[in-house]
Every structure is written in C-alpha cells, then in structure tokens.
Structure 1
Amino acid sequence: MKTDQRPVEYVDFARGYAISTIVIFHFFFENIVFGNLLDQAFFFGGAGVHLYFFLSGFGLSLSRNVSPLDFYRRRFSKVILPYLFFVSFAFLLSFYYPVAPVQDWRAYLSHLFLFKMFDNDLIGSFGYQLWFMSTLIQFYLVFPFLFSWKEKIGKGRWLALATGVSLGYFGLVYAAGRSGDSVWVSFFLQFLWEFALGMTLADLYREKDFRFWNLSPVWYAGLAILGMGSMAFLTLKMGDAVKAFNDFPAFLGYTSLSILVFQLTDRYLPWLKRAFAGVGKVSFFLFLTHVLVLKAMVDGLRAYGQGLSAYHLVLYLPLALLIAAGFQYVYLKVASSFNRPVLHPNQS
C-alpha cells in the first residue's frame, strides 16, 4: 500500500517544537544557572538538532523524485541562499556591532566557500548555532549517493550499515580524544544513523503507510524516560569523554518526547499543537537569527546595568519570532525581485 504525498502533520509540528526548545536552550545557556537538575533539563532542549537531522532524512527521502542536479539546485535555493543571505547581513552588521567573536573577512569567506566546516575557529563564526549548517550541507552533498546506496542494498541493511558507521566514528572520536573538538563532532558521520533512520521510516510510510507518530503514547513515554535517564547518567557520571555516544539516548529521549507531546496536544491542547506548527513555518529563519537577537538583548540589558534573567524569556521569545518572521519576509521579497521562482524554506 502506497500512501499519498500530503504534508505529514507531525513533521510540521516537530520543526516548531524542535526550534522552540533550541531557542530556549540557548537562552538559558547564557550563564543562567539553576543547579544540576534544571541545567540538564534545559541542556536537553539542545538535543533538538538530532530531531532536525532525522526530519531531514525523512523529508528528503520522502520527496526524492528528482535528478541529483535538480536536488542540488533545490537545496541551494531553499536552504543555502537564505543561509548566505543571513551571513551576509551579519557580516555587514559586524562593521557597526560586534556580532560574534569571529566576524572578519576570512570568517565570511569561510561560509561562502564552505571551508568553515574544517576550522574550529570558524565553524561557529557569525553565530555558534551555525555549526549545524556545516553538517547539513555535508548531508546535502552526499544525499544522492546515500539514497542510491539505500535503494541498492535495501533499507534494512542500509540502516544497519549507517548505524555501524556512526558507531565506528563515535569510537574514533573517543579514541582520538576529540570529543570536545567542534569539527570532529559536527562531521556528518556523527549523525548518519539518525538521518538514515529518517530515510528508512520515510520508505515505510510511503510504501506501507507506517505512521510512527501514531504508535502508543505509553510506548513513547517509556522511551522518553529511558532516553532522558540514560542521557543524564552519561552526562553527569561520564562527562565529555563519552559525549559522542550520548547522541543515541539524546535522540531517543528527545524524539520520543516530541511525539508524545504531539499526541497529547492533538487530543487535549489543539491550540498548542497549532502554535508549534505555526512556529515551524518560520523555523529556519528563527534558527538563523535567534542567537543574534539574544546577543543584542543581553548587550542592551548590560548597557542599563542589568543581567539576563529567566523572566526575560517572556520578552525574548516573541521578539525572536517577530524578527525571524520579518527576516523571512525581507528575504523572500529580495529573492523574488530577481524575477525567478523562490522556494520557501518549508517547501520540499
């Protein structure tokens, strides 16, 4: 049985849910300390990047019906261009405002020509969240080959192979003592297994209408507890030495919780589900801009002799959303002025 190709409701929700927790994580990352338990709870929000890689594998595989050249063209129009638009804006702004610790011409060129992914000093230039773009671009570069490989050996073997490759890479990172090295831990092999899982579940959804987001909430509650508990144990007891291996429980706990929240809001709080889906519509631009908005807010508070507190989250969230929506609007207007079709970041 082959399913239809309508947008998957969970995916729209998950994009908004993931970026919301990431934004909140980065807010509390600004030296707001509550103690070990709450610190770990907010740190857990940063695990949203794992869900994003999973959703990327799922979405790309589900819509994969174009030639490699057309695939690259669409990725460039949909993701790379708005990313470079933001970096160009941040670079111009850096002449008047300290956007980031590293913001010179070399840093700017490293984004344009993609060599920042090989340099620890540049990988987080113009915003520490932009390390994610290096990994995502790596996945885009190899995706046609990954897809062909999966088609050749079958989705079961492909998932097993991808997981084995990631485990091997985890071991290499650990043995080389590179667990704290941004270039090593952001290489796409680190996340290949969850990307491959997304590809595999996309096949099952398309071919057999298997909707993993509709499984029992009791099942996902158990997986969420297991994943979060394992992640907390590894983080608190083992430290950064096993950081790479922590990706498994982080993804398991975070993704299971996101599905559980999706199911509960669908049943009891539909307005909240719609709110997360709405955030998902500007999720990419919110990802790009939120750290810069946060820095400006922190600097503004310091100018008046104040520090960032948890109460400022009430101001920060709507401000970040408003600026993301405005930035998205400006980008789409600028791009459309060149008289060429513009792919919205939420299009396939």
Structure 2
Amino acid sequence: MGKPRIEEWTQLRSLAFLAIVMQHSIAEYIYRADIEPADSTMLTMMYHMTRFGTPTFVFLSAVLMFYNYDGKLNYFAFIRKRLETVFVPFLFWTIVYWLYVRAFTPSFWQKGGQDWGSLLRELVQPQTGYQLWFILMIIQFYICFPLLAALYRGAKNKINLLDEGRRTGSVLAVLAFAGACYIILLYLSYYRMGYWAGRIGSPWAALVTHRSYSFLMYGFYFLLGAACAANIGNWRAWCTKLLPWCGMVFLGMYIRLGYDVLRGSGETVNLNISTYLKPSTFIIIMAQMLFLYGLLLLLRERNQAFLRLLSWIGTYSFGGYLAHALVIYVIAYFTRPLNLAGSHLPFALLTFALTVLASLGISYALSRMPGARWIVGAGRRKPLRGNKVNDYRGDSRTVFGAGNR
C-alpha cells in the first residue's frame, strides 16, 4: 500500500519552488544598467528571503529517497525509473531551451543550424536552461544512492538498538559533527578553492572550478534528509521546539548577509557574494528551512485552504521548475527593450507572479497528456482525498529545484 504521505514535504517543496522563481525573477532585473539604487537595495533584500530554495529541494530529494527506499533496492530498476522520469525530461527541456535561444540568433540560421557543439555543452554545463544544472547534480546522488541507502540502513539499525535518550543524543552528535565539517568545506570552497583552481593542472582545476555541480558540495543537506526520514516524529518535535530560535538566527543572518552584499558590491549589486557555498549563507539557509518546516506544522490545524494551495503547487512544481526559465525568457523579450528606471521592483514582482502562474499552468497541462513522464516526470495524478494532511498514500516521486548558486 505504500507508506503514509507526509504532506508537509509537498508544502515545503512549493515554498522552495516559489523562492526559486523569485530568485530568477529578481536576477532578470537587478543587473540592468538603468536600475536605481532604491530598487537595487529592495531586490537584494527580497533575494535573501529566498536563499533556502535550492538547498531545500536537495533536502527534500534526500528525505523522500531514504523514506521510500529503506529496504532492499533493485539497482537497475531504480536507475531505469530515474532515467525515465528525470534524465529524459532533462534532455527534452535542454533541447527546448537551446532551440528557443537560438531561434532569435540570426547567425545560427545563417550557419544552417549547425551548432551542435553548443548543444553538447548544454548537456554537461547548462547555460540557456540555467536551472537544469540541478538535475545533473542530483543524478550523481541517484547513482550513489544504493551505497548511501545501505549505509543508512546499517546506521539506523544500530541507533535503534539504543535507548531513546542515547538514540537522540547520537543523532544530534552526528549532525553536529557533520555540520562542523561541512562549514569547513564551505569555507575552503568560498575562500580557498578559487585560488587552488589557478595553481593545479587539469582535470583537477576543472573539477574545482565547477564544484557547484558536485553533489558532495551539498552533502549535509542529504544527511539532514536521512535524519528526517529515519524518525519523522522526532524531526517534527525538533522543528517545533526550535521554531523561535531559528527565527531569531534567520533575522540576524538576514541582516548580516544583506550588509555583506551591499558593502561588497560596486555600482552593480553582486549577488554571488551570498552563494550557496559560503558558510554564512549555509547558516541562514538552515535557520530559514527549519523555521518554515516548523511553521508548516503549526499551520496544520489552522489554515487548511492555504495548505491545500501549497500542496497543489508542490504537486506540479517539478514541471514548473523545468518551464519557469522559459516563461521568464518570454517576458524578458518584451521588458528588456523598455526603460524601467524606477520600476524594477514592481516589474520583478509582476514577472514573479506571471511566471508562477504560467509555469504551473504548463506543468499541469503537460502532466495530463500522454507521455507526460518523459516531459515533466509524472503523468496525471488522482485527486487527493481525506480530511487530514497526512492521511494520503505514499508519493514516491523525487523533488527537484534549481536556483542561483
């Protein structure tokens, strides 16, 4: 019958999707030459409200995998399903973005469309479909998942032999140690690895330069997902107890991160100062992600209409994620020729709203078509039933997302 569906995961996925669309909507306007300082500052402040997006998708991808595959695993069946519902849609949308961008490039047609080398590069390092880098990263996790799942089962079995107090202490100790190691890794990534790339030879220099594509650089979020999947009850209790503390940490780091970006930027804001692979950004992401998780738990019995809306958005968020950059491209085709001085903030918000509506609409429509799994990863789903947010059947689909790194 499958495991019970944990509805807050779908709702958290929807919040992460909205955050990612907001990031890319902001990025469309914040670097324009005619932007005024007030708009630039406001967009920067909004941007730092969305940093949890992609790491939350990493966390949710891991938690669903460990939750649904905690028994014996048929590796070939597992990989085949991932190829069908993840890699094939990646190929499809890579070609869509490649063709869309080149359709408005006269030199491409003058050459008879013989630009296949750039298409091959898109399959390794996505640029036109800039959000698709996430799939290349998460596929690495799928390839290694059978080994990780075996380690997960072994650790879970050993920890379950302990009494409740020692069990909780052991998990917290492992997470604390792993978190400290991860902060060291991020410190080296942000402050040292750029220097290393200039001094070491190939192929190591290329690996260091493109380290944001490696799933190892997001390893702590995978471990966090495993901890959540192992004991949902304890995880919910922790998030609820930590809710006020996470809120305060987020507020402090929000101010700190915004100050760092504004201080470190020149005439144009440099959002890369708050990249995911930076220790201070990691702290704000963790605080906000745990805060939102706890907040969703508190809302379970208070605002069912809002939670149902989040669940619907989360259901179609993968297709929306695949399509949203294309929607932004279409909107930009009309907005880039305009002089928007003094209006970049409202146009960014308008772009966000239109992109959410259009991309989810595309995802919904495609999911109801034959062969939808090859395009958006899943076909038409039966409507959810039940009165409680956690009484649905298991949903084995994996969660995805993308964003600025």
Matched residue, 1:19: 17
Matches of 2:378 and 2:319 in 1, distance apart?
Answer: 15
Matched residue, 2:222: 195
Return the letter of the residue paired with 1:78: T
Matched residue, 2:128: 126
Matches of 2:99 and 2:23 in 1, distance apart?
Answer: 27
Matches of 2:148 and 2:174 in 1, distance apart?
Answer: 9
Task: Verify: 1:42 aligned to 2:59, yes or no.
Answer: no
Matches of 2:274 and 2:314 in 1, distance apart?
Answer: 34
**Cα pair 1:19 1:283 within 8 Å, conserved:** yes
Structure-2-length-normalised TM-score = 0.68
Return the letter of the residue paired with 2:9: V
Matched residue, 2:75: 68
Matched residue, 2:201: none
Return the letter of the residue paired with 1:25: Q
Residue 330 of structure 1 and its aligned partner are, at CA, apart by 4.5
Return the letter of the residue paired with 1:227: F
Matches of 2:361 and 2:85 in 1, distance apart?
Answer: 21
Alignment of 1:284-299 (within 5 A): 284-299=318-333
**Cα pair 2:324 2:355 within 8 Å, conserved:** no
Q: For 1:69-112, what per-residue CA distance to the aligned partner results, in whole angstroms no more than 9, with x for missing partners?
A: 222122112222222221122234344246xxxx9523432455
Matches of 1:241 and 1:268 in 2, distance apart?
Answer: 35
Matched residue, 2:244: 221
3-state DSSP of counterpart to 2:371: helix
Q: For 1:308-336, what per-residue CA distance to the aligned partner results, in whole angstroms no more than 9, with x for missing partners?
A: 61452443332222223234445735859
**Cα pair 1:290 1:324 within 8 Å, conserved:** no
- Residue 148 of structure 1: which of 143, 146, 150 is its match? 150
Matched residue, 2:357: 318
Alignment of 1:70-85 (within 5 A): 70-85=77-92
Matches of 2:95 and 2:370 in 1, distance apart?
Answer: 12
**Cα pair 1:78 1:344 within 8 Å, conserved:** no
Matches of 2:255 and 2:209 in 1, distance apart?
Answer: 21
**Cα pair 2:140 2:215 within 8 Å, conserved:** yes
Alpha carbons of structure 1 residues 178 and 40: separation in structure 2 relative to 1, 3 Å: farther
**Cα pair 1:50 1:194 within 8 Å, conserved:** yes
- Residue 108 of structure 1: which of 114, 119, 144 is its match? 119
Q: For 1:252-285, what per-residue CA distance to the aligned partner results, in whole angstroms no more than 9, with x for missing partners?
A: 2221232244235434332111111101111111
Pick which of 223-232 and 82-91 moved more.
Answer: 223-232
Matched residue, 1:166: 182
Q: For 1:206-238, what per-residue CA distance to the aligned partner results, in whole angstroms no more than 9, with x for missing partners?
A: xxx43527853x631320330342254145338
Structure-1-length-normalised TM-score = 0.78
Matches of 1:278 and 1:76 in 2, distance apart?
Answer: 25
Matches of 1:241 and 1:335 in 2, distance apart?
Answer: 35
Residue 45 of structure 1 and its aligned partner are, at CA, apart by 1.1
Matches of 1:312 and 1:322 in 2, distance apart?
Answer: 16
3-state DSSP of counterpart to 2:188: helix
Pick which of 246-255 and 11-20 moved more.
Answer: 246-255
Matches of 2:279 and 2:349 in 1, distance apart?
Answer: 34
More RCO (CA 8 Å, sep 6+)? 2
**Cα pair 1:224 1:252 within 8 Å, conserved:** no
Alpha carbons of structure 1 residues 61 and 285: separation in structure 2 relative to 1, 3 Å: same
**Cα pair 1:228 1:249 within 8 Å, conserved:** no
Matched residue, 1:137: 139
**Cα pair 1:204 1:210 within 8 Å, conserved:** yes
3-state DSSP of counterpart to 1:30: helix
Task: Verify: 1:52 aligned to 2:90, yes or no.
Answer: no
Return the letter of the residue paired with 1:172: L
**Cα pair 2:90 2:132 within 8 Å, conserved:** no
Pick which of 196-205 and 29-38 moved more.
Answer: 29-38
3-state DSSP of counterpart to 1:177: helix
Alignment of 1:328-339 (within 5 A): 328-330=367-369, 332-333=371-372, 335=374
Matches of 1:165 and 1:144 in 2, distance apart?
Answer: 24
State which structure, 1 or 2, has the greater radius of gyration over its C-alpha atoms: 2
- Residue 281 of structure 1: which of 311, 315, 318 is its match? 315
Matches of 1:79 and 1:179 in 2, distance apart?
Answer: 33
Identical amino acids, percent of aligned pairs? 21
Matches of 2:87 and 2:78 in 1, distance apart?
Answer: 12
Matches of 1:312 and 1:187 in 2, distance apart?
Answer: 34
Matches of 1:59 and 1:334 in 2, distance apart?
Answer: 18
Return the letter of the residue paired with 2:194: G
Return the letter of the residue paired with 1:293: V
Alpha carbons of structure 1 residues 162 and 211: separation in structure 2 relative to 1, 3 Å: closer
**Cα pair 1:185 1:244 within 8 Å, conserved:** no
Residue 129 of structure 1 and its aligned partner are, at CA, apart by 1.5
Matched residue, 1:120: none
For structure 1, which runs of at least 5 residues remain unmatched after alignment?
Answer: 117-122
Aligned CA-pair RMSD: 3.5
For structure 2, which runs of at least 5 residues remain unmatched after alignment?
Answer: 106-113, 160-170, 198-207, 265-272, 382-394, 398-405
Residue 175 of structure 1 and its aligned partner are, at CA, apart by 1.8
Residue 35 of structure 1 and its aligned partner are, at CA, apart by 4.6
Pick which of 33-42 and 188-197 moved more.
Answer: 33-42
